[in-house]
Structure 1
Amino acid sequence: MTSVLYDVPGPRARRRNAILAIVTIAVVVAVLGFVAWRLSLTNQYDASKWNVFTYSLVWQTIGEMLVNTLRAFALAAVLSLALGFVLAIGRLSDHAWVRVPVTVVTELFRAIPVLVLMMILYYGLPSLGVTMDPYWAVVLALMAYNGSVLAEALRAGVESLPKGQSEAGYAIGLRKSGVMVKVLLPQAIRAMLPVIIAQLVVVMKDTALGFLITYQELLYYAKLLSSQQGRPILQAALIIGGIYVIMCLLLSWLAKWVEQRSRRSPKVAKTVAHDPAADDEGTLTEAIALQSRSRRIESADDSER
């Protein structure tokens, strides 16, 4: 049994895939076992190293740091999307005086690392007489970098659409702004939604860079915990890293849910499933009827002559 894009593997291929799966599982289990053994050998399971996490005040502070992380992520994500739309539309402009400066800004923001942007905003601006709160330094740096990346993703999505989409919009009287907003961008967003969500996950993870400019978020507090009695460095990293993993998984699940909802169309659900064979039969019947009618007309013309 085969399909257009995939051939069902035969017995040898299934046997080879099973062997590869077993070897992969064995390697993963071996690595995890080695890590667990090293943790045990270095007394990382000792209760004294986990004692700091038995205090309710520690978990309360972790909750506050989590809120700070989500605050920075939420605003940076919204601003990145807004900037991405603006830059993408600017790069698609027919006017060179708009397209060229927007292209320069986009490429510049993409080329500068996020941490460098944070350093410039927090440590560089005071030399010019401008002070900035760590929160805004984190948010603006994330907005500049990720907004430029999202702009390229949206531009690629728009340019990947068939030209007939825009031509159809112009044919019904829409201007370029109407074609962009009502025809092209909705399709581009739907096509590039996985890329957009993946970039938003990057925004969430990059908030951890804020601890280098003293922004009090999860990683900042993990560094403080690792300096406590017993130096629970790995323990703090595991706890805080687990929180980041959970947040990224939740964001990925939300993205998948939104993607599935966006692909559902009420019109499609209400449409009666058509049979291609019936369509072919109808087309053949119409062709035969048209041929018979043309023959009758020709016979009538000959009789009149």
Structure 2
Amino acid sequence: MQAIIDQFFNFEIMRQALPMLLTGLVMTLKLCVVVVIFGLAGGLAVALGATSPRRWLRYPTMVFVDIFRAMPPLVLLIFIYSGLPFAGIRISPFAAVAVAFLLNNSAYYGEVYRAGILSIGRGQWEAAASTGLGMPQALAYVILPQAVRNVLPELLSNTVEVIKLTSLASVVSLAELLYAANMARSITYNASPLVLAAFIYLLLLWPLVRLVSRFQRQLAT
């Protein structure tokens, strides 16, 4: 029992590793902001393309969604970071993660947005048109606010998954939280920094998980 405590719950090693992990946490938070904001914006663009009445726009968007929902994000990340240099395209680890997650998350966010848009009845479009609003104005001021409210728990739930996926950035040596914890583990020959990193992830994600549950209960009533 003492061996397990020393290996996984060594508070002295955690204290020593904490500055390194906090530096990694800052990088993780920067990555989360970029990935979530661009993912939400890209997902909205995908949803608008997928619900467009123009087939030349709708069909390619549907193909995009199918491809990037089916492709594992880790495979996509490694391809962008390690494969593109063979074509003469070299980008930083941060940019590689941002691009890979933008493509992957846009597809998932797009499907959530699309479900929200389709949940709004035709009568709402007609009511907006009767007030003199054009399609872009109706979409921005009438349809999208209702659509986002309808799928808000799904958007938040997807965001939690996106934040979890940022840990994959460690495979391209981006100095985020998991990478920092693994480096501390290799230096100390002790797993306690990984346990501390898991606890930090828990503190970061638990409020979002509770928020998702709250919205789900509100919509169910």
| TM-superposed deviation, 1:256 | 7.5
Correspondence for 2:190 among 224, 232, 237: 232
CA distance in 2, matches of 1:224, 1:190: 42
Contact 2:13 2:193 in 1 (8 A): no
Deviations 1:238-284 (A, max 9, x none): 21111101101233456689x69xx9xxxxxxxxxxxxxxxxxxxxx
Deviations 1:163-221 (A, max 9, x none): 21112112222222222111111101011111001111111110100111111111112
CA distance in 2, matches of 1:150, 1:186: 16
Contact 1:88 1:155 in 2 (8 A): yes
Q: Which has the higher contact order (CA 8 A, sep 6+)?
A: 2
Contact 2:20 2:184 in 1 (8 A): no
Q: How does 1:177-196 map to 2 (within 5 A)?
A: 177-196=136-155
SS in 1 for 2:187: coil
The change in CA–CA distance for 1:91 and 1:243 in structure 2 (over 3 A counts) is same
What is aligned with 2:199?
242
| TM-superposed deviation, 1:161 | 1.7
In percent, how many aligned pairs have the same letter? 31
Is 1:44 paired with 2:4?
A: yes
Structure 2, unaligned runs of 5 or more: none
Q: How does 1:116-131 map to 2 (within 5 A)?
A: 116-131=75-90
Is 1:54 paired with 2:30?
A: no
**Count of equivalent residues:** 216
Identify the range of structure 1 (72-81 vs 134-143) with the bigger mean alpha-carbon deviation: 134-143
The change in CA–CA distance for 1:47 and 1:125 in structure 2 (over 3 A counts) is closer
SS in 2 for 1:215: coil
Contact 1:80 1:143 in 2 (8 A): yes
CA distance in 1, matches of 2:9, 2:154: 40
Identify the range of structure 1 (92-101 vs 43-52) with the bigger mean alpha-carbon deviation: 43-52
Q: How does 1:1-305 map to 2 (within 5 A)?
A: 40=1, 43-46=3-6, 50=10, 51-55=12-16, 58-229=17-188, 231-233=189-191, 235-252=192-209
Deviations 1:104-131 (A, max 9, x none): 1122111111111110110011000011
| TM-superposed deviation, 1:156 | 0.7
| TM-superposed deviation, 1:59 | 1.6
| TM-superposed deviation, 1:143 | 1.4
Misfit runs of 4+, over 4 Å: 253-257
- CA RMSD, aligned part only? 2.2
Relative to the length of structure 1, the TM-score reads 0.66
Deviations 1:133-183 (A, max 9, x none): 001111111111111101111111111122211121122222222221111
| TM-superposed deviation, 1:237 | 2.4
CA distance in 2, matches of 1:212, 1:224: 12
Structure 1, unaligned runs of 5 or more: 1-39, 264-305
Relative to the length of structure 2, the TM-score reads 0.90
CA distance in 2, matches of 1:49, 1:248: 21
CA distance in 1, matches of 2:8, 2:159: 37
